Amino acid sequence: MESEERMRLFGLSHLAVERELDKVEAALEIDLQRSEHDEKEEEYYPQFGQVLRREAADMGRHYELFYCLEKSIRTLIAETLKAQHGENWWTTRVPQAVQDNAKANIQREIDSGVTLRSEDEIDFTTFGELGEIVRNNWESFDAIFSSQKAFTKIMTSLNMLRGPIAHCSPLAEDEVVRLRLTVKDWFRLME
């Protein structure tokens, strides 16, 4: 047998072994760390176990969904109020208690010496306060949302679902289904 043929067979054998190891990793839900890791990946604390990492990866999907949803809600509120009430919408249309809380959150970040998360005050509000802003300005949003009662119900549900996602607790299977349905309800509310 020629050496070129042996090399080809060796390569094919190697691929077959790799495929079998992939199956073992998937079946046992483990990472044998056969792939090369770049330097950045090594910085992500190998002390954390595989079970915790798998849970984090599963929750990452829900975090990504909520991140997009919450950022889009903040943008919708800011753009709608700015378009209808001008540049000073924050001071003229946002309840004073919400403004005060945002101001306190900004000051807390300044005092801690960290980089401010944003230049926009609305990014310093809680998720629940976003609902307050909309309800206090319903006349600006009634053309966007089909029902104020449904808006309040959906925002309350989203706020409850946000808790475990934002505070590093796994979502129960039923809550994953509830999250998906509530997000669908959110978009249906704007049809």
CA angle 139, 183, 81 (to 5 degrees): 25
Q: Is 6 left (phi over 0), alpha (psi -120 to 50) or beta?
A: alpha
pLDDT per residue over 17-65, tens digit each? 788 888 888 888 787 777 765 545 556 678 888 889 889 999 999 999 9
Which residue type sits at 81?
A: L
How would residue 13 be classed by pLDDT, with cut points 50, 70 and 90? confident
- Predicted local confidence at residue 113, as pLDDT: 96
Of how many residues is the chain composed?
191
Closest CA to 131 of 100, 155, 149, 147: 155
- Predicted local confidence at residue 41, as pLDDT: 53
DSSP per residue, 106-128:
HHHHHHHTPPPS-SSGGGGS-HH
pLDDT per residue over 115-143, tens digit each? 999 999 999 999 999 999 999 999 999 99
Euclidean distance between CA atoms 78 and 121, whole angstroms: 10
Mean pLDDT of 61-89: 97
- Predicted local confidence at residue 45, as pLDDT: 79
Closest CA to 137 of 120, 122, 123, 124: 122
Q: List, as own/partner pairs, every contact residues 54-59 make where C-beta atoms lie below 8 angstroms and the sequence separation is at least 24, other chains included.
A: 54/29, 55/170, 58/170, 59/165, 59/168, 59/170, 59/171
pLDDT above 90: residue 109: yes
CA dist 161 → 122, 132, 150, 174, 179 (Å): 21, 18, 16, 11, 7
- Predicted local confidence at residue 42, as pLDDT: 54
Euclidean distance between CA atoms 94 and 132, whole angstroms: 9
Are the C-beta atoms of residues 138 and 39 closer than 8 Å to each other? no
